[in-house]
């Protein structure tokens, strides 16, 4: 059975790009009699506004969707700690504490990761673990982790089989200073716990999957398939964002627009003026 999910972070209201993502995940599951899950990813430190979750539920219902809701990330912190403990202790020893600030990392980094963040320059990697580490971030020793895991592949059902390239991200954060877990760890653990078989999300997160595949290998988790769908773009070719003026679904809903009609238009590729769909990822094989 296909199980997909929509996993919004309540950092701001949902917009048309989210509607497209939720519809894609919903329809992929429903087409085969599967399940469509909603998971609220509410552990993004100070940016997280959990009160938005109710608005999200209203938005999805307005679009005519039905879903099964799984527990929000804030209720799953123990599972992230357990996974980190496993990475730390279980013959792996692939995590190390890091005290660097963002500014220090930005100043010393020589490369950019696929998600646009500076690759960690490795400053704390060889430091002995001393003192109180409770306010440290914990990073993955990427070279060591890749050596343990060996070559890995994963499959996107649009782009085909991929060779995992987690090394492009360098020593990613696994446990954050300001939040219970990094996106990479939380998403990997939750998709497994929720029984997700087809991880459906925008292609802006395509490269993150390299890291998720590595974490699955290190933690001994089964491997799902991914579906990274194209993105809705604004007139300047940029991904839609509320801060760049894309209307919030909640505003359209409150203005009396018909959400089900909007959903049908998005499904049929009839997009509002000034909005286009990015090219899809296609398998080269
Ligand atoms: N919570 C993430 C977001 O709102 C999505 C993560 C995912 O789908 O893996 O951008």
Q: What is the CATH number of the domain that holds 88?
A: 3.40.50.620
Q: Is residue 83 located within the same domain as residue 134? A: yes
Asked whether 205 lines ligand 1 (CB < 6 A), one says yes
- Find the domain containing 238 and state its range: 3-74+228-277
Give the pLDDT mean for 134-158.
95
Q: Between 49 and 129, whose confidence is greater? A: 49
Q: Is 284's pLDDT higher than 60? A: no
What value does the mean pLDDT of the chain take?
A: 94
Instruction: Indicate whether 161 belongs to any domain.
Output: yes
Q: Is residue 91 located within the same domain as residue 180? A: yes
Instruction: Indicate whether 120 belongs to any domain.
Output: yes
Given a contact cutoff of 8 angstroms between Cβ atoms, the answer to whether 207 and 114 are in contact is yes
Q: Is residue 63 located within the same domain as residue 106? A: no
Last residue of a domain, one of 138, 163, 191: 191
Asked whether 201 lines ligand 1 (CB < 6 A), one says yes
Q: Is residue 100 located within the same domain as residue 159? A: yes
Q: Is residue 87 located within the same domain as residue 69? A: no
Instruction: Indicate whether 285 belongs to any domain.
Output: no
Instruction: Indicate whether 282 belongs to any domain.
Output: no
Number of independent structural domains in the chain: 2
Q: Is residue 186 located within the same domain as residue 80? A: yes
Side-chain half-sphere CA neighbours of 285 within 13 A:
8
Last residue of a domain, one of 191, 213, 241: 191
Whole-structure pTM value: 0.95
Asked whether 215 lines ligand 1 (CB < 6 A), one says no
In angstroms, the CA 253 to CA 13 distance is 12
Q: What pLDDT is stored for residue 199 in this prediction?
A: 98
CA 8 to ligand 1 center in whole angstroms: 5
Instruction: Indicate whether 130 belongs to any domain.
Output: yes
232, β-bridge pairs? 277
Q: 74-79: long-range contacts at Cβ-Cβ below 8 A with a sequence spacing of 24 or more?
A: 74/42, 74/43, 74/50, 74/180, 76/186, 76/189, 76/190, 76/193, 77/43, 77/180, 77/181, 79/189, 79/193
Share of the chain above pLDDT 90, in %: 85
Instruction: Indicate whether 222 belongs to any domain.
Output: no
Q: What pLDDT is stored for residue 268 in this prediction?
A: 96
Q: Which atom of ligand 1 is nearest to the CA of 201?
A: 8
In angstroms, the CA 261 to CA 32 distance is 23
Per-residue pLDDT band for 283 (boundaries 50, 70, 90) equals low
Q: What pLDDT is stored for residue 242 in this prediction?
A: 79
In angstroms, the CA 48 to CA 58 distance is 18
CA 7 to ligand 1 center in whole angstroms: 5
Given a contact cutoff of 8 angstroms between Cβ atoms, the answer to whether 122 and 134 are in contact is no
**pLDDT, tens digit (0-9, with 9 covering 90-100), for 215-255:** 999 999 999 999 999 999 999 999 998 788 889 999 999 99
Give the pLDDT mean for 267-279.
94
Q: Is residue 240 located within the same domain as residue 251? A: yes
Q: Is 46's pLDDT higher than 90? A: no
Q: Is 192's pLDDT higher than 70? A: yes
Last residue of a domain, one of 169, 191, 213: 191
3-state secondary structure (DSSP) of residue 178: coil
Q: Is residue 112 located within the same domain as residue 130? A: yes
Mutate to test the pocket of ligand 1, among 9, 21, 48, 115 (most ligand atoms within 8 A of CB): 9
Q: What pLDDT is stored for residue 75 in this prediction?
A: 96
């Amino acid at each position: 059975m296909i199980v997909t999910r929509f996993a919004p972070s309540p950092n701001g209201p949902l917009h048309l790009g989210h509607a497209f993502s939720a519809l894609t995940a919903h329809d992929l599951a429903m087409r085969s009699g599967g399940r469509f899950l909603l998971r609220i990813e509410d552990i993004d430190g100070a940016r997280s506004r959990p009160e938005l979750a109710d608005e999200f539920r209203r938005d999805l219902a307005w679009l005519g969707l039905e879903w099964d809701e799984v527990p929000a990330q804030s209720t799953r912190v123990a599972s992230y700690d357990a996974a980190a403990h496993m990475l730390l202790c279980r013959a792996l020893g692939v995590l190390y504490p890091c005290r660097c600030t963002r500014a220090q990392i930005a100043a010393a980094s020589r490369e950019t990761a696929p998600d646009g963040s500076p690759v960690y320059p490795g400053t704390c990697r060889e430091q002995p673990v001393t003192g109180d580490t409770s306010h440290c971030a914990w990073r993955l020793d990427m070279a060591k982790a890749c050596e343990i895991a060996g070559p890995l592949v994963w499959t996107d059902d649009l782009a085909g089989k991929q060779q995992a390239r987690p090394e492009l991200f360098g020593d990613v954060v696994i446990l954050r200073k300001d939040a219970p877990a990094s996106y990479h760890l939380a998403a990997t653990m939750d998709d497994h716990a929720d029984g997700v078989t087809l991880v459906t999300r925008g292609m802006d997160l395509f490269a993150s999957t390299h890291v998720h595949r590595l974490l699955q290998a290190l933690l001994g988790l089964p491997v799902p398939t991914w579906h990274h769908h194209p993105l809705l773009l604004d007139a300047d070719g940029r991904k839609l964002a509320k801060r760049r003026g894309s209307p919030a679904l909640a505003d359209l809903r409150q203005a009396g627009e018909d959400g089900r009609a909007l959903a049908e238009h998005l499904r049929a590729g009839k997009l509002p003026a000034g909005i286009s769909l990015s090219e899809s990822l296609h398998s080269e094989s």
